[in-house]
Amino acid sequence: MEAIERYQVRGLPGYVERLSFDGRIVDYWAPKASTSHLLVAHDGQNVFDKRTATRHQTWRMAQSAINVSKELGTVPPAIIAVFHSRTPTNPWGRIIDLAPQDPFQNGVPAVASSAPPPVSAEELMGNAYLAQITDVIAPEITAELGLDLAKLDTALIGSSMGGLAALYGLGKRSDFFTTGLALSTHWVAGDYALVDALIDLLPKPGKHKIWMSHGTRGHDAKYAPYQKHADAKMKEAGWHLGKDFETRVYNRSGHNERSWARYLDQPMKFWLG
């Protein structure tokens, strides 16, 4: 863990710390008071910093968490924002990190229009990416904050390919994560076979929470039939809508950080409440 910089964000108390873990950039923020919640976010470049965010629009994730926590009368969660590894020399790094490795390597066919042809299933490294989060990044940051990771209620959040990765991470490490928050889940990367594989991978209901949502504009307009299939499978598996499982459709909401930021308070309440 190597410190890179410390910076401030308007409307956010304290500082955001930027670190490098063997070249992977990670930002984190924590409230001054000790917290019992930890939120790990994919696409960390879009979480806090407008300088690195897509279209210079962030999720305003910490601000949303603070507002929801105040409403609920609890301490806000610490937030760890993990950057993907896409660079000019590694243009497919985000896909390699976030695409669910096991399903694609075990026979789920990638849809050519959604998955860049230069990436083969054998090149996916989602398991190594997930292991870096659970075995290195989260333990070292929470230790730095003086938090007992084993006692934290830890959620994983992502959008689009990150939504797939949030569900995959919960399925693979249900011992580590209590909640998966998947926004605009990019089901079209593998169609119904991918829906089946990810829902089947999830833990049995009873000790976890799962949120799924999408809009009606842009890429999100394609997700409705796949999400309905996912919802049906969730109910068949014993998940209880409105209790440990929530699914939402946001009319006129699109596939971008501004749209996700507008309703982020609702998955936050679902998790923290």
The CATH number covering residue 123 comes to 3.40.50.1820
Q: What is the pLDDT of residue 119?
A: 86
Tokens 């991978």 map to which residue? 201
State mean pLDDT over 140-165: 98
- Residue 208, CA distances (Å) to 156, 265, 267 in order: 12, 19, 14
CA distance to 12, 83, 183, per residue, from 52 (Å): 17, 10, 20
**In contact, 100 and 49? CB cutoff 8 Å:** no
**Residue 113, pLDDT above cutoff 80:** no
Write out the two tokens for 182: 């998947």
**Which band of pLDDT confidence, cut at 50, 70 and 90, is reported for residue 251?**
very high
- Whether 179 shows a pLDDT value over 90: the answer reads yes
Amino acid identity, residue 175?
Answer: D
Give the whole-angstrom CA distance, residue 177 versus residue 212.
16
d(CA 161, CA 262): 19
Confidence of residue 218 (pLDDT cuts 50, 70, 90): very high
Give the residue-averaged pLDDT of 14-24: 98
pLDDT of amino acid 118: 76
Q: Total structural domains in the chain? A: 1
Is the pLDDT score of 117 beyond 60?
A: no
Residue that the structure tokens 């070249």 belong to:
23
38's torsion region: left (phi>0), alpha (psi -120 to 50) or beta? beta
pTM of the model: 0.97
Model pLDDT, residue 105: 97
Taking residues 166-170, what's their average pLDDT?
98
- Cβ atoms 191, 250 nearer than 8 A: no
- Checking if the pLDDT of 114 tops 80, the result is no
Give me the chain's average pLDDT, please. 96
pLDDT tier, 111 (very low <50, low <70, confident <90, very high otherwise): confident
- Give the C-alpha separation, 111 to 57, whole Å: 29
Q: What is the mean pLDDT of residues 192-216?
A: 98
Average pLDDT over residues 67-77: 98
Give me the sign of the Cα torsion angle 29, 31, 34, 35.
negative
Span 95-121, average pLDDT:
85
Give the whole-angstrom CA distance, residue 187 versus residue 120.
18
- Looking at residues 26-36, what average pLDDT do you find? 98
The domain of 189 spans 2-272
- Identify which of 10, 15, 12, 43 has the alpha carbon closest to the alpha carbon of residue 28: 15
Using the predicted structure, report yes or no on whether residue 93 has a pLDDT greater than 70.
yes
